[in-house]
């Protein structure tokens, strides 16, 4: 019972709020985790509303672990980076999808432990490999204070507000939980919840709602919900959670728990209120791993959620420490996937899609087929060689597989079912979007559209590259703004940027007057550029900053470059046959030359002159790497000086590196240079070399 005020028959507000929170957390655990509710939904809702009203009347009573905080509603501008106290490392994948893959792992473990054939079998924990989104939940003094995505393993994103909306995740732990506890697990969406969500989405679309869509699969829907900036939207998505491990935890010497096995750890997580998959089991030796793999594989389609394999972990934590890691992957764990699911269907057509960088990809349009728990209507053929190798033709009956349970692909053709007259696929030699030539360079498998400045499919990429700070540089012209400009039809080619006025910009969504003025000013400023920057900004394949500088130095004028033959281009320093042909092909396209002329007509200017005399280049043939902060030069300025002297500036250190120029706070590049015996110099020594 809740204590009462001495002068009232009603409990004090703080005491009643605490009592309500305890009751609601208890019943949420019974409902979401144990699937054994003790009270009807109406009674839970009544208690919930009472707590909501109490917290509204007494805001000081609102706590982070209150069940009312699952409702969501806070909208964030962006996610805050979170550096994991213990990295969220990936585990190795066993490539043998047959049961022998389990034996392979057991053999590797026994060999690493130095066990003989006569020694006892190793005990493992066998778990499911969920098809969801990895998550780290941090509790301090029993309260959920942070939830972070895996990110790159070292740094993730803070998604705490969205994770609070998931009923299965405790907001407060029992009193025996350690002061610091990071629980690692998987956010996922059940198949029935996914189907219900898509039904709602289809109803919205049918009612004429704008911006709504159906979701491709449960994993994408779950990941999208977790990364919603509006936690109110996230709260409407039916997400679930399974725990499978730990990150940081208070050590035993400071009062934390002392686990001996991974299974004990999982059972303690379950006791603290975290869902742990009921299929999790101890498997002793290879035979039991094989049996687990086969048992789960046979029941995979009957599970209420998607998995793409199972995971084996050495049970003893002491043995885990002995086994350690290799290339940041634990030797004591492995993911054992199942063969991708396959189905038969028919090829209705073969279309060619053009990517953001001009790559042409043949795509088989299929009679709809249900594969890997989604309806597949398209499958990539990758490139012309692959399509020819598999001999995929319109009308063919094909085997379709979701490779890695993500990307649908055509595995094989059934030639005996091929209709008469089916024609061999040939990649078009003109871009299907803009009509420019499509070429395949020597040594490459992909055809690419050469109309980079003109092609609608490449429009966004071309604009972003042109506006890059190392190219023409239009400050403030980022991804989101370019997307708006292109999608709205305001900008169709690069010259359209310079025809933009304040009114057109200010009319865009979320574009304030001041921001519009800044973009107009930035565009005007960008008109004054240099020939190397302009050349680099055109996005000619294989023409980077250094090559653009060499071209400008050699020819002096853009018209000479546009009119140069392959032989003349080969005379430029470091320009080989592939680069020369790429430049020639680019300027052979009338569209690209027209864009250059229009940019000049819009006022984009640079200094031109006679070809520079071939002055001695003291650092020709030398490779430098820059690291740290220099006393007087920025990294970009140092790079420019080195390249002007003929040096190549690389981004990473290797045995081929001649010098590493190290400044303050130099990091891993300096360490690698020292380990490889590469010469390390400072800014002063570099400047002396340039002046020699």
DSSP letter string, 117-154: TTSPPPEEEEEEEESSEEEEEEEETTEEEEEEE-TTSS
pLDDT tens figures, 667-681: 889 999 999 999 999
Q: Tell me, what CATH number does 588's domain have? A: 1.10.150.20
| Residues of the domain holding 64 | 13-70
Q: Tell me, what CATH number does 45's domain have? A: 1.10.287.610
Strands 659-662 and 679-681: parallel
- Residues 9 and 88: their CA atoms lie apart, in Å, by 52
Examine the domain organization and report whether 640 and 596 are in the same domain.
no
The phi and psi torsions of 39 (rounded to 5 degrees) equal -130, 155
Q: Is residue 81 part of a domain?
A: no
Domain boundary among 283, 313, 337: 337
Contact 228, 236 (CB under 8 A): no
Examine the domain organization and report whether 333 and 347 are in the same domain.
no
pLDDT tens figures, 550-560: 999 999 999 99
Whether 200 sits among the annotated catalytic residues: the reply is no
Examine the domain organization and report whether 152 and 181 are in the same domain.
yes
Examine the domain organization and report whether 557 and 673 are in the same domain.
no
- Residues 221 and 212: their CA atoms lie apart, in Å, by 13
580 half-sphere exposure, CB direction, 13 A CA radius = 14
Contact 315, 124 (CB under 8 A): yes
Would residue 361 be called left, alpha or beta, if left means φ above 0 and alpha means ψ between -120 and 50 degrees? beta
Please give the pLDDT value at position 629. 92
Q: Is residue 317 part of a domain?
A: yes
Closest CA to 111 of 127, 98, 100, 122: 122
Q: Is residue 236 part of a domain?
A: yes
Tokens found for residue 380: 């990539």
The phi and psi torsions of 599 (rounded to 5 degrees) equal -65, -40
**Strand locations in 253-372, DSSP E?**
281-284, 307-314, 325-326, 329-330, 333-337, 342-354, 360-371
Closest CA to 539 of 425, 455, 462: 462
Examine the domain organization and report whether 329 and 353 are in the same domain.
no
Residue of 129, 549, 648, 669 marked catalytic: 129
DSSP letter string, 382-435: -SHHHHHHHT--TT-EEEEEEETTTEEEEEEE-GGGPPTTPPPP---SB-TTT-
**Enclosing H/E stretch for 546:** helix 545-555
Tokens found for residue 131: 């098809």
Structure-derived torsion over alpha carbons of residues 243, 246, 252, 257, reported in degrees to the nearest 10 = 0
Examine the domain organization and report whether 311 and 201 are in the same domain.
yes
Q: Is residue 435 part of a domain?
A: no
CB neighbours (10 Å) of residue 652? 9
Give per-residue burial for 27-65: e unless 16+ CB within 10 Å, then b.
Answer: bbbebbbeeeeeeeeeebeebbeebbebbeeeeebeeeb
Tokens found for residue 105: 């792992």
Q: How far is CA 451 from CA 156, 435, 538, in A?
A: 38, 8, 11
Q: Is residue 504 part of a domain?
A: yes
Please give the pLDDT value at position 209. 82
For tokens 């009592």, the residue is 19
Q: Which residues contact 631 (CB under 8 A, 6 or more apart)?
A: 663, 683
Domain boundary among 615, 634, 650: 615
Contact 195, 217 (CB under 8 A): no
Examine the domain organization and report whether 535 and 645 are in the same domain.
no
Examine the domain organization and report whether 165 and 61 are in the same domain.
no
The phi and psi torsions of 384 (rounded to 5 degrees) equal -65, -40
Examine the domain organization and report whether 628 and 583 are in the same domain.
no
Q: Tell me, what CATH number does 362's domain have? A: 2.40.50.140
**Strand locations in 575-652, DSSP E?**
623-627, 648-650
Examine the domain organization and report whether 598 and 661 are in the same domain.
no
Examine the domain organization and report whether 58 and 202 are in the same domain.
no
Contact 189, 240 (CB under 8 A): yes
CB neighbours (10 Å) of residue 294? 13
Q: Is residue 443 part of a domain?
A: no
Please give the pLDDT value at position 477. 93
Please give the pLDDT value at position 511. 87
Closest CA to 485 of 507, 469, 454: 507
Domain boundary among 417, 436, 461: 417
Tokens found for residue 247: 């990150």
Strands 133-140 and 180-188: antiparallel
- Residues 35 and 141: their CA atoms lie apart, in Å, by 27
- Could you tell me the pTM of the whole model? 0.49
**How many structural domains does the chain have?**
5
DSSP letter at 30? I
For tokens 């030069």, the residue is 633
Q: Tell me, what CATH number does 217's domain have? A: 3.30.470.30
Q: How far is CA 517 from CA 186, 376, 502, 604, 650, in A?
A: 45, 46, 6, 19, 38
Q: How far is CA 329 from CA 84, 94, 122, 153, 326, in A?
A: 16, 13, 20, 11, 5
Tokens found for residue 364: 């088989």
Q: Is residue 4 part of a domain?
A: no
Examine the domain organization and report whether 280 and 393 are in the same domain.
no
Would residue 128 be called left, alpha or beta, if left means φ above 0 and alpha means ψ between -120 and 50 degrees? beta
- Residues 362 and 353: their CA atoms lie apart, in Å, by 6
Tokens found for residue 507: 């009319």
Closest CA to 311 of 506, 130, 171, 463: 130
Residues of the chain with pLDDT under 50: 1-8, 32-33, 35, 71-76, 404
For tokens 């009232």, the residue is 8
Q: Which residues contact 418 (CB under 8 A, 6 or more apart)?
A: 393, 395, 396, 397
Q: Is residue 535 part of a domain?
A: yes
- Residues 26 and 218: their CA atoms lie apart, in Å, by 28
Tokens found for residue 673: 């240079």
Angle, alpha carbons 645-650-655 (nearest 5°): 105
Please give the pLDDT value at position 270. 96
326 bridge partner residues: 329
């Amino acid at each position: 019972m809740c204590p009462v005020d001495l002068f009232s028959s009603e409990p004090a507000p703080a005491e009643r709020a605490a009592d309500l929170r305890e009751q609601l957390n208890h019943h949420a655990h019974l409902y979401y985790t144990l699937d054994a509710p003790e009270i009807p939904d109406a009674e839970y809702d009544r208690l919930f509303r009472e707590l909501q009203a109490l917290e509204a009347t007494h805001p000081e009573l609102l706590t982070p672990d209150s069940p009312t905080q699952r409702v969501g509603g806070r909208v964030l501008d962006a996610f805050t980076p979170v550096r994991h106290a213990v990295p969220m490392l990936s585990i190795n994948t066993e490539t043998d999808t047959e049961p022998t893959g389990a034996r392979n792992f057991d053999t590797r473990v026994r060999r690493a432990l130095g066990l003989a054939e006569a020694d006892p079998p190793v005990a493992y924990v066998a778990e499911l490999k969920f098809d969801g989104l990895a998550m780290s939940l941090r509790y301090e003094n029993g309260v959920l204070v942070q939830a972070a995505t895996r990110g790159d393993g070292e740094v993730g994103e803070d998604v705490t507000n969205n994770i609070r909306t998931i009923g299965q995740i405790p907001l407060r732990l029992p009193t025996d939980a350690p002061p610091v506890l990071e629980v690692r697990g998987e956010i996922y969406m059940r198949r029935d919840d996914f189907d219900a969500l898509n039904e709602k989405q289809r109803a919205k679309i049918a009612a004429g709602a704008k911006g709504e869509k159906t979701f491709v699969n449960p994993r994408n829907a779950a990941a999208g919900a977790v990364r919603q900036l509006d936690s109110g939207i996230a709260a409407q998505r039916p997400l679930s959670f399974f725990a499978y491990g730990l990150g940081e935890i208070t050590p035993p010497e400071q009062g934390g728990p002392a686990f001996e096995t991974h299974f004990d750890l999982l059972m303690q997580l379950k006791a603290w209120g975290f869902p742990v998959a009921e299929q999790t089991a101890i498997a002793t030796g290879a035979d039991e791993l094989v049996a687990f793999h086969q048992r789960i594989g046979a029941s995979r389609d009957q599970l209420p959620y998607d998995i793409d394999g199972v995971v084996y972990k050495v049970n003893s934590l002491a043995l885990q420490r002995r086994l350690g890691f290799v290339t940041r992957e634990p030797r004591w764990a492995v993911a054992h996937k199942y063969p991708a699911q396959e189905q038969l269907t028919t090829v209705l057509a073969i279309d060619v899609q053009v990517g953001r960088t001009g790559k042409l990809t043949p795509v088989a349009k299929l009679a709809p087929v249900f594969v890997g728990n989604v309806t597949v209507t398209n499958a990539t053929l990758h490139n012309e060689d692959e399509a020819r190798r598999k001999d995929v033709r319109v009308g063919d009956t094909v085997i379709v597989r979701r490779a890695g349970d993500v990307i649908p692909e055509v595995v094989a053709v059934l030639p005996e079912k091929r209709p008469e007259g089916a024609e061999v696929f040939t990649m078009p030699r003109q871009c299907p979007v803009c009509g420019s030539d499509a070429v395949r360079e020597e040594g490459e498998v992909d055809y690419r559209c050469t109309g980079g400045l003109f092609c609608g499919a490449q429009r966004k990429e071309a604009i972003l590259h042109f506006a890059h700070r190392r190219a023409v540089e239009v400050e403030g012209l980022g991804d989101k703004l370019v997307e708006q400009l292109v999608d709205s039809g305001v900008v169709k080619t690069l010259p359209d940027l310079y025809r933009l006025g304040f009114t057109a910009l200010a009319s865009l969504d979320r574009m304030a007057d001041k921001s519009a003025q800044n973009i107009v000013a930035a565009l005007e400023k960008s008109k004054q550029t240099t020939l190397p920057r302009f050349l680099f900004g055109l996005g000619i394949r294989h023409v980077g900053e250094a090559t653009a500088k060499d071209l400008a130095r050699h020819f002096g004028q853009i018209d000479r470059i546009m009119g140069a033959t392959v032989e003349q281009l080969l005379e430029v320093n470091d320009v080989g046959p592939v680069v020369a042909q790429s430049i020639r092909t680019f300027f052979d396209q009338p569209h690209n030359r027209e864009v250059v002329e229009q940019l000049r007509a819009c006022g984009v200017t640079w200094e031109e002159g006679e070809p520079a005399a071939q002055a001695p280049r003291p650092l020709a043939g030398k490779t430098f790497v820059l690291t740290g902060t220099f006393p007087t030069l920025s990294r970009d300025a140092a790079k420019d000086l080195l390249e002007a002297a003929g040096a190549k500036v690389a981004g990473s250190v290797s045995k081929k590196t001649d010098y590493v120029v190290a400044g303050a706070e130099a990091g891993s590049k300096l360490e690698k240079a020292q380990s490889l015996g590469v010469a390390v110099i400072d800014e002063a020594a570099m400047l002396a070399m340039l002046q020699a």
